[in-house]
């Protein structure tokens, strides 16, 4: 298909085509003064098993349809959609429709849907951000800006931050054994020596990763985020499959995606004195760039990544991103499609603070929602309340970062989700029947119970096999 001509109105009001870039959508929203979080496009979710009928119904309405199956490995390139009005994501039974095309056919969110229609719902598409940026978009507070490492730089080095978190974790473990932090008992000293010998981050130690014999060999982990530093030395020789859904190279110029991939898939023994920070060190890495280098995306870019990860049968799909609103039908359908194919979607619950609900897509019933824990294994102050399935280390998490920095310590539920994804991959390697819903149940059943409400920590702290 030929690329679309740039004929949008000067104010950006027409920048709501299926092929519009994230930047164009954001600029158009600003131009029209729209603070709703809507992009101006629409998502059509089809009834279970009605995807082909839905595709035909779109065509009968005169819509020009692009199909993800027309792209290699279903990696949709939005800037190559040409004059298509809509793009179908067949693995999840969802279609994106440009705003003008939808409204011309009365297909807005308020449209009446016939009982015999293959369509389940029509919803406004929304913007999606890396978790901290989403909270900045909503609130713009300095406290939130410091989460996930997007705030002002500090004089303290990443190594210093890691050590601070490590020492707090060591003190906690000692307290749990009934010793004072500075008690110096032989049992405490032996334990601290064991931790130092293992040389792992406090998060991996809390999840019992160093003692696990599993490596996630044969398991595909998809991380849908800002991409990855494909030349990071800690991943030299590792095959990495990348795809972009935001019109930018997979190469990560932001950092968030590299950090999350580092936790879920990083090496067992990084060079030099660098502590072990990665869990599934023999996993196959699938990096889906669904957020731009500015950390922004849309529901459609995330859905395109989900569709791609399912088409590639990635057993574990990790997402540290969020957007406004309650559970969204398209995300719920994607999560169900993953489970139907023996795959598991895991998402960060968001950083709105205690008392506020989890964001989308984590709030979907078919996607595992992950809360953040501090080094004392208490819920982090920024972690939400409500639909929480499990918890993991999220405060002061040391992991990979794009060169030349190489490593960074940051905080957020974004950092907790890849801990769960990595542990899920270890469990998936341990038994061929631990797939999809069975894997979900195993993670909950083996989690370490914590003395906090289920609405804050779910089943508890994720544990490796």
Residue 4 has pLDDT above 80, yes or no: no
Confidence grade of residue 72 (pLDDT, cut at 50, 70, 90): very high
Residue 414 bears catalytic tag? yes
Confidence grade of residue 320 (pLDDT, cut at 50, 70, 90): very high
Closest CA to 16 of 119, 76, 104: 104
Mean pLDDT of the residues in the chain: 86
Would you state the pLDDT for residue 14? Answer: 53
In SS3 terms, 188-215 reads as: HHHHHHHHHHHCECHHHHHCCCCCCCCC
Confidence grade of residue 131 (pLDDT, cut at 50, 70, 90): low
Residue 7 has pLDDT above 90, yes or no: no
Would you state the pLDDT for residue 106? Answer: 87
**Which has more pLDDT, 100 or 146?**
100
pLDDT tens-place string over residues 387-404: 999 999 999 999 999 999
Confidence grade of residue 132 (pLDDT, cut at 50, 70, 90): low
Residue 16 has pLDDT above 90, yes or no: no
Q: 379 vs 347, 354, 355, 453, CA distance in Å? A: 17, 9, 12, 10
Summarize the confidence of residues 434-455 as an average pLDDT. Answer: 98
Summarize the confidence of residues 325-349 as an average pLDDT. Answer: 97
**Which has more pLDDT, 199 or 164?**
199
Residue 6 has pLDDT above 60, yes or no: no
pLDDT tens-place string over residues 175-216: 443 433 344 444 434 434 444 445 899 999 999 999 999 999
pLDDT tens-place string over residues 276-308: 999 999 999 999 999 999 999 999 999 999 999
pLDDT tens-place string over residues 259-278: 999 999 999 999 888 999 99
Confidence grade of residue 155 (pLDDT, cut at 50, 70, 90): very low
Would you state the pLDDT for residue 422? Answer: 98
Residue 256 bears catalytic tag? yes
Confidence grade of residue 166 (pLDDT, cut at 50, 70, 90): very low
Summarize the confidence of residues 322-339 as an average pLDDT. Answer: 94
Identify the active-site residue in 256, 296, 372, 399.
256
Distance CA 148, CA 32 (A): 30
**Which has more pLDDT, 326 or 149?**
326
Identify the active-site residue in 287, 372, 414, 419.
414
Residue 13 bears catalytic tag? no
Distance CA 59, CA 101 (A): 12
Would you state the pLDDT for residue 152? Answer: 28
Question: Is residue 259 within 8 Å of residue 277, measured between CB atoms?
Answer: no
The helix (H) or strand (E) run that includes residue 126 is: strand 119-130
Q: Which domains are present in the chain? A: 22-125 (no CATH), 142-153+195-457 (3.40.50.200), 158-194 (no CATH)
Identify the active-site residue in 225, 234, 252, 396.
225
Task: Give the DSSP letter string of 91-116.
Answer: TTTEEEE-HHHHHHTT-STT----TT
């Amino acid at each position: 298909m030929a690329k679309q001509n740039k004929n949008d109105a000067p104010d950006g009001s027409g920048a709501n085509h299926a092929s519009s870039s994230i930047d164009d959508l954001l600029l158009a929203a600003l131009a029209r003064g729209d603070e709703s979080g809507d992009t101006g496009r629409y998502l059509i979710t089809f009834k279970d098993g009605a995807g082909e009928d839905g595709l035909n119904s779109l065509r009968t309405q005169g819509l020009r349809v692009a199909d993800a199956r027309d792209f290699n490995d279903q990696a949709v390139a939005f800037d190559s959609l040409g004059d298509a009005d809509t793009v179908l994501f067949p693995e999840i039974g969802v279609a994106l429709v440009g705003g003008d095309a939808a409204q011309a056919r009365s297909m807005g969110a308020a449209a009446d849907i016939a009982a015999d229609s293959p369509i389940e719902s029509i919803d406004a598409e929304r913007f999606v951000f890396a978790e901290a940026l989403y909270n900045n978009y909503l609130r713009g507070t300095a406290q939130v800006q410091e989460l996930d490492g997007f705030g002002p730089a500090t004089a303290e080095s990443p190594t210093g931050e890691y050590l601070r978190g490590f020492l707090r974790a060591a003190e906690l473990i000692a307290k749990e054994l009934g010793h004072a932090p500075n008690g110096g008992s032989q049992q405490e000293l032996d334990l601290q020596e064991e931790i130092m010998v293992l040389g792992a981050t406090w998060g991996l130690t809390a999840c019992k990763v160093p003692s696990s014999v599993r490596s996630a060999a044969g398991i595909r982990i998809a991380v849908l985020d800002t991409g990855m530093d494909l030349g990071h030395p800690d991943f030299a020789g590792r095959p990495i499959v990348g795809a972009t859904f935001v019109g930018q190279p997979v190469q990560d110029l932001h950092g968030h995606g590299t950090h999350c991939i580092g936790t879920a898939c990083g090496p067992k023994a990084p060079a030099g004195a660098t502590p072990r920070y990665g869990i599934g060190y023999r996993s196959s890495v699938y990096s889906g760039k669904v957020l731009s280098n500015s950390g922004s995306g849309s529901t459609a870019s995330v859905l395109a990544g989900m569709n791609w990860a399912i088409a590639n049968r990635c057993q574990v799909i990790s997402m540290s991103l969020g957007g406004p609103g309650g559970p969204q039908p398209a995300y719920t359908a994607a999560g169900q499609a993953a489970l139907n194919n023996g795959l598991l979607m895991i998402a960060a619950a968001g950083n709105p603070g205690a008392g506020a609900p989890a964001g989308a897509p984590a709030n979907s019933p078919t996607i595992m929602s992950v809360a953040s824990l501090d080094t004392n294994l208490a819920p982090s102050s920024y972690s939400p309340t409500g639909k929480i399935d499990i918890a993991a280390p999220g405060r002061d998490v040391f992991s990979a970062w794009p060169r030349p920095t190489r490593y960074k310590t940051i905080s957020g539920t974004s950092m907790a989700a890849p801990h769960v994804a990595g542990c899920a991959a270890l469990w998936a390697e341990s038994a061929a029947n631990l797939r999809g819903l069975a894997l979900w149940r195993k993670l909950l059943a083996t989690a370490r119970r914590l003395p906090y409400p289920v609405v804050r920590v779910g089943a508890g702290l994720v544990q490796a096999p």
